[in-house]
Structure 1
Amino acid sequence: MSTAPDQARPSRRRTDIQVLRALAVGGVVLNHLFPHRLTGGYLGVDVFFVISGFLITSHLASEMRESGRIRLGRFWARRARRLLPASLLVLAVTLVATRVWLPEAAWQQVSREVLGSALYVQNWVLAASEQDYFRSSQSPSPVTHYWSLSVEEQFYLVWPVLLLVLWLVARRARPAARRVVLPAAMGVVLAASLAWATWALGAHPESAYFETWGRAWEFAAGALLGTLALPRVPRLLAAPGWLAMVGCMVWFDDSSAVPGLPTLLPVLGAALVIWAGQGSGESRHRVLRPVEWVGDVSYSLYLWHWPVIIIVPVALGRPMTPVLGLLLLAACLVLAAASTRFIEDPVRRARWLAAGPAWRSLVPAALVMALLAGGAWALPRGLAGNLREVQSRLEAAATSGDRCVGAPATANGCRDSHVLSIAGADLATIENSPYVPAWGSSCQVEPEDPAPSPCEFGVPEDQAEHRLVLVGDSHAGHWAAPLDVVAQQENWNVVMQVKSSCSVVSGDWRAYWATPEMTDSCRAWGRQVGQDIADDDSIEVVVVSAISREYLTDDADGGVGQLRAQWRAWVDAGKTVVVLGDPPSLDHGSLPECLGASTVTVDPCSAPRRFATPDPLLRAARGMDGVVSWSPLPALCDRERCHAVVGGLPVYGDQSHLLQYFARTFAPALREQLDAVLDGAGTSGAGAAAAPQPAGR
């Protein structure tokens, strides 16, 4: 983070701000190294924003009072000299390290984020992709942390222009009113931005963390302090501020409403420390000097820590441990010291740049940014050919009928079932692994759309011997691939009714990540689809699935009653309900990326069996007449572990969806189950989960 003043004159150096920087960067780094120890350390970014708002606004306000103007070119040139050399160096090193050590499956994401970071729009890149900041440690992207630098650069671009406009307005006002124009404007920005942040956390929480609009109030809090002529107060009053910040870093976690109203506490704590420290100068306390030094190198430390944390364990082929974490912390401090000494300071203090026109700093900076953006764009360009080759091998394996390939391997007792047999298979994801024609935006309804959008696969209805419907969320969608195989073989017509992030019932079930609008849309969709299925006499079997472990309900029975009520309506309409259990989430983040980063091919990225938590859908189906359940769990998990590779193939295409190629190998087991249902067997069964059957029926 950038909060260092442009001159390093001792008379202008403030010990309290240096220590604040040290606390802020220390919180962030320790949170990333030991996320379960300092759960709220990420609040260091919020502290940095307050410091930046105070220092930059104070500097610009002073310039306006002294000269009556702001020299925008010189301001932006100073910022470029201060920020860009170290920032662009770290991005360049990260790009090279990604090419050398990170798996190819990660290159596309890293390329996109390095490009966004080089152009300082990374926060909007992450907001658009709806990435969860608090799950970023499961992602191999080593530049996620550049989101905050992007917000700060956007602040530096807009803020001086805003202050200049306000100054011109103030000059036209009456003398008594001039003193309140800037503070009043800062207060308006603070209130409006905080209101936006609070609203955004409820409306679209997946992107609210990164939005510039919801972060402006933290800069405005520091700016307000910088524009008010507040009297000095005893330095002891800083103690509650320090206590508030440290306490929040210990108390807050990934469920805290940041950057909403609770964030006022650490922000006001930082502001109180700055206020109480007015007039403080160079510290003479030896105890504080090491802390001040951390503040001196805080910008470079922030830049280096995340690439080191993400890339080094992959390069070493070792998982993160407390000992490795401490070693990486030491390495980050060394890199930060070297970067500050040999990159930041020389460029910032270069006379031929500082004394020259603004373009002398800005033009080279723009050229280096463009060069880096070009390198980021070029990184994944060679992957297309590799991906096509991998897709061809996966397609051949999935359609081979080999009883030891994919899901049947477990039931058939095949040796080496968990050895990844196809090199580069980690390149295949749900984004580039084509599903059956039914899959896609024309069929899977988006979260905000309440209108059903059914589509069909298998054979045309007028040629079909039986008609089925597949209903649920995107985790129902990944069963379309094997169902299409069976439908083509058995002359079935399958209607697909799938809505992303939406439960299979219209009651009070809701996804924990869903906004109120998404939940209302889901319930409207569920009511309509449920009625359409009940009214359609041509449908004989309703196939239901969902990532039901991730849904919430207020019912004491965990929603079992609601599920059964929905299914009972379909059973009473003469249909059989087949419930497909959901594969377990292995908590490795993106499984293709985990496979690519793994240094072993034997059972990579597996997880303890405890990750296969009970499935509410299967629990609801148990003992219900007219409802049959089937679970993929026996194919994926043994008594001790659940596996990311089965029958030589990757199981998952992301964190939890089945990879299409692997999903198709479940076709024999699904055919066995559905044949029994359509033949009249099992329609009043007890919902016992059937294990996948061997191929070659």
Structure 2
Amino acid sequence: MDGAARRWGFRPDIEGLRAVAVLAVVLFHAGVPGVSGGFVGVDVFFVVSGFLITGMLWREAESTGTVRLAHFYGARARRLLPAAGTVVVVTAIGAATLLPPLQARDVLGDGIASALYVANYRFAVQGTDYLAADAAPSPFQHYWSLGLEEQFYLLWPALVLGTAWLARRGRGSGAKAAPSATPYLLVLASLGAASLAVALAWTRTLPPWAFFSLPTRAWELATGGVVALSARRWCRLPPASAAVTGWIGLALIVLACARLGGTTPYPGTAALLPVLGTALILGAGCAGPRRGVGRGLSLRPMRALGRLSYSWYLWHWPVLLLAPPLLGRSLGLAGRLGAAAVSGGLAVLTLHLIENPGRFAAPLRRSAARSLTLGGAVTAVAASAGLVLLVAVPVPVGHGAVAAAPTVRTPPPPASPAADPQAAAVRQMIAQVQAAVAASAGVRAVPANLAPPLAHAPADKPAVFLNGCVRSWLDVGQPPCVSGDPASTTTVALVGDSHAAMWSPAFESLAEQRHWRLETLAKVTCPLLDLPITSPYLGREYTECERWRGEILGRLRAEHPRLVVLSMSRRYGADFGFPVYGRPWLDSLTRVVAQLRAASAAVLVLGPIPDPHSTVPTCLSAHLDDATACAPRRSVAMSDAGIAAEASATAAGGGQYADLTPLFCTADRCPAIVGNALVYRDDNHLTIRYAQVLAPVVGGLAEQVLARPEPPRTPAEPPGPR
């Protein structure tokens, strides 16, 4: 094969390269050990797309002076939309049938966005929302890359046409110079450099947008385009050099698959590995070395798998996610590999029954208008199917007996003097809550008057989550967030992560009643404890948290609040850099309580709430007649040993500790509904309603601590962890 044919003719090695890409993605999603970075297969696809599409558009623009847009878009519609639309419809039906109604409705929204090829931006927005960060993955999540590719197909021809026009103007109207790739190379190189710069910046500051958006992935497509436009230079490589170059490229892809992982900030600099590796394979293949990696990639099994890659990519993820609810059990490694094999079988059927007939049908190939009509019809059907199913899946509503709203009444002062009337009042209020919890523990049917209703629960966020008082991952500093009586001389500071902020509805009502000046100081996934912390969301050291801690401690030392209420999640683990209830956690708790006490503040540490081990509104939507299915055993929801250790650590620092277990659990179970009050709005935060129910109890606990005499004021320690 001569150089020109090798450059622009059929490249069997590219089919094999697609096989490498899809195998990496499927094995990664199946959880196969050793392929922790298999998600880079998508980057391989992007570079290949940039190579093929740019080369095709450039050749047409230079030979004809234009690009037949209708022909180009028609070809893309025939190639991609029938298979993609089919999988959207089938996946939507499966989600509506198999998933809990509340989850199914969210997934159907993803399906509509996927049918319209804007799913990548929907997922970017969802990924930016802290309260959605722990949501179950969507069966449509892999459609983000298809949306990005469609956006690339929409914009790339305009870029090529614009460059062609500028190139003709530069040559002059009468010039008859040979076609030159230089203007296109300059444009693509500039675009790629700008995109890479944005990707590097957003990987650190806006990870979801860096991962999902076209501006941060365009450099990968541009890299493929640069290889296509410089093919003549690649063809001049000596055979030995070309062979070595190709094998190095494959080694880089394999290295990325083996060494990268879920905690790798991505795309960032890590994406250079698969992108450069793919570019080297594509470039080396232009020279066609006999002993190069292209020889292995061109083997018939690899080519067959490459032809299957698009349909297999479409099917593998929904099959992996929908198989467990279909089978009624989670899948082990063998089960996941079986699901991947089933999706491969579906891909074979899709290739031969849908993909190839639509792609090669002569009436469609001869008419761009028919091709575009087919694409539009498929898109409309897929989006409409999502809309119809969204209407058909009912909004989950409890149909059990109307339940009484739980209330806690403050007991009247005792008739006879008591040793500690406040402690006695708190015990009585806790007993009221315990009685309500015990009465609800065995109730099966979700009450018809559930508050908030299941459909509204995910949006049941206290105002502090919406007005900037709860600082997001990248925020530092803390704006004034004062409620209650701003002129009061009694300042109460509610401090910690989102588990402190979820108590704000209770403390805001208390501040109004008791004329406190309440300050809410909170930052997501950032306990006030002086522990080095890694953010799985950011994929790096959580420096913003460490800065915020220092600022907040300095502020508390300067303001001398009467009471600091400290609360934090107990769901931190190895991915954050420390285990909850471990010795570093407990020692840090003692230190921070002592520091706050040294600043003349009384300190109340709120114990943990139960971990329901499910997204409770979603779980209840699937068990409207058996709410106990969503109520975990106390032994798995709470750590009695950890709570006892925290109580001792708090006392060692001079603070008071509140074990909240009786407000949520019986001796055996922790119900998800108490009376008609839904306890959790997601998988770990309280609803506004239940926080308000418990307001009298936490108010009594706070009053007990405030009633104790203040310690003598001592000079505050310098801010910052030690």
- On whether the aligned pair clears a TM of 0.5, the verdict is yes
Contact 2:297 2:303 (8 Å CA) reproduced: no
Asked if the contact 1:433/1:660 (under 8 Å) is kept, the reply is yes
Match of 1:345, SS state, is helix
* Count of aligned pairs: 654
Q: Which residue identity does 1:627 align to in structure 2?
A: G
SS of aligned partner of 2:483: strand
Deviation sequence 1:1-30 (CA, Å, 0-9, x none): xxxxxxxxxx95433212211111111112
How many angstroms apart in 1 are the aligned matches of 2:97 and 2:648? Answer: 49
Q: How far off its partner does 1:254 sit? A: 0.9
Aligned to 1:475: 499
Instruction: Letter of the 2:371 partner, please give it.
Output: S
Match of 2:566 among 526, 544, 547: 544
SS of equivalent residue, structure 1 residue 141: coil
CA deviations 1:361-389 (Å, max 9, x no partner) are 224433443454344455545789645x6
Matched, 1:660 2:688: yes
Decide whether the 8 Å contact of 1:591 with 1:653 is kept in 2.
Answer: yes
**Equivalent pair of 2:102/2:396 in contact (CA under 8 Å):** no
Quote the Cα distance in structure 2 between the aligned partners of 1:644 and 1:297.
48
Separation of aligned partners in 2, 1:78 and 1:194: 29
Q: Matched residues in 2 for 1:605 and 1:336: separation?
A: 40
Counterpart amino acid of residue 564 in structure 2: V
The answer to whether the 8 A contact 1:123-1:150 is kept is yes
Are the counterparts in 1 of residues 609 and 661 from structure 2 also a CA contact under 8 Å?
A: yes
Shift of 1:96: 2.1
- CA–CA separation in structure 2 for the residues paired with 1:605 and 1:350: 56
Q: In structure 2, how many angstroms separate the alpha carbons of the residues matched to 1:266 and 1:23?
A: 11
Match of 1:592 among 601, 606, 617: 617
Contact 2:185 2:229 survives alignment (8 Å): yes
What is the Cα deviation at residue 142 of structure 1?
1.1
1:249 paired residue among 254, 257, 262: 257
Q: How is 1:452-467 mapped onto 2 (pairs within 5 angstroms)?
A: 452-456=479-483
Supply the distance in 1 between the matched residues of 2:159 and 2:489 (Cα, whole angstroms). Answer: 70
- Give the deviation of 1:581 after TM superposition: 3.0
Task: Using the TM superposition, give the Cα deviation of residue 675 of structure 1 relative to its aligned residue in structure 2, in angstroms.
Answer: 4.4
CA–CA separation in structure 2 for the residues paired with 1:305 and 1:247: 23
Measured after TM superposition, the shift of residue 170 of structure 1 is 2.8
CA distance, structure 2, for counterparts of residue 429 and residue 532 of structure 1: 40
Amino acid at match of 2:334: V
Report the AA paired with residue 156 of structure 2: W
Residues 429/455 of structure 1: CA separation in 2 closer, same or farther (3 Å cut): farther
CA distance in 1, matches of 2:151, 2:350: 24
Q: Which residue of structure 2 aligns with residue 497 of structure 1? A: 520
- 3-state SS of paired residue (1:213): helix
Q: Percent identity?
A: 30
Task: Tell me the amino acid that sits aligned with residue 504 of structure 2.
Answer: A
Q: Distance in 2 between matches of 1:287 and 1:192?
A: 35
Question: 2:657 maps to what in 1?
Answer: 629
Match of 1:4 in 2: none
1:312 and 2:323 correspond = yes
3-state DSSP of counterpart to 1:39 = coil
| Residue of structure 1 equivalent to 2:60 | 63
The structural deviation recorded for 1:154 is 1.0
Which digits, 9 at most, give the CA deviation of each residue in 1:252-273, with x for residues without a partner? 1012232121221222222222
Q: Which amino acid aligns with 1:224?
A: V
Q: 2:383 aligns with which of 364, 373, 384?
A: 373
Q: For 1:316 and 1:682, how far apart are their aligned partners in 2?
A: 61
- How far apart in 2 are the matches of 1:289 and 1:572? 74
Q: How does 1:177-192 map to 2 (within 5 A)?
A: 178-192=180-194
Superposed CA deviations along residues 592-629 of structure 1, whole A, max 9, x for unmatched, are: 33554679754448598499696899489523454112
Deviations 1:95-116 (A, max 9, x none): 2222222112213422332232
Superimposed CA distance per residue, residues 230-281 of structure 1 (whole angstroms, 9 cap, x where no aligned partner): 2254564332222221222121101223212122122222222223333769
Q: Is 1:422 matched up with 2:446?
A: yes
Indicate yes or no: 2:275 matched with 1:267: yes
Contact 2:50 2:222 in 1 (8 A): yes
Tell whether 2:331 aligns with 1:359: no
Q: Which amino acid aligns with 1:291?
A: M
1:210: which partner in 2? 212
How many angstroms apart in 2 are the aligned matches of 1:655 and 1:206? 21
Change (3 A) 1:184 1:308: same
2:439 corresponds to 1:431? no
- 2:194 match: secondary structure: helix
**Contact residue 410 and residue 647 of structure 1 kept, 8 A:** no
Note the alpha carbon deviations across 1:544-599, whole angstroms, 9 max, x for none.
Answer: 22337659799x995888876765565456542111134466665x4433554679
Contact 2:114 2:140 in 1 (8 A): yes
Check if 1:44 corresponds to 2:46: no
Q: Shift of the alpha carbon at 1:391?
A: 12
Is the contact between residue 408 and residue 432 of structure 2 (CA under 8 Å) also seen in structure 1? no
Partner of 2:98: 101
The residue that corresponds to 1:688 in the other structure is none
Distance 1:616 1:680, change over 3 A: closer
**Equivalence for 1:579:** 605
Residues in 2 aligned to 1:581 and 1:452: alpha-carbon distance in whole angstroms: 26
What is the 5 A alignment of 1:141-220? 141-173=138-170, 178-220=180-222
Shift of residue 349, structure 1, vs aligned partner: 1.4
Residues 481-524 of structure 1: CA deviation (Å, up to 9, x unaligned)? 44467678x75646241444274659897772469895598468
Answer with 81-90 or 567-576: which moved more: 567-576
Residue 7 of structure 1 is matched in structure 2 by: none
* Helix, strand or coil at the partner of 1:178: coil
SS in 2 for 1:209: helix
Q: Highest CA radius of gyration, 1 or 2?
A: 2
| 2: CA distance, partners of 1:173 / 1:166 | 10
Flag structure 2 segments of 5+ consecutive residues without an equivalent: 1-7, 172-176, 410-426, 713-722
Is the CA contact (8 Å cut-off) linking 1:506 and 1:526 kept in structure 2? no
- Aligned ranges 1:615-654 → 2 under 5 Å: 618=646, 622-624=650-652, 626-632=654-660, 645=672, 651-654=679-682
CA distance in structure 1 between the aligned counterparts of 2:447 and 2:629, rounded to whole angstroms? 14
- Structure 1 residue 54, shift from structure 2 partner: 0.9
Secondary structure of the equivalent of 1:214? helix
Query: 1:204: how far off?
Result: 1.7
> In terms of mean alpha carbon deviation, does 72-81 or 570-579 score higher?
570-579
Paired with 1:12 and 1:418, the residues of 2 have a C-alpha distance of: 70
Could you state the TM-score of these two structures normalised by the residue count of structure 1?
0.79
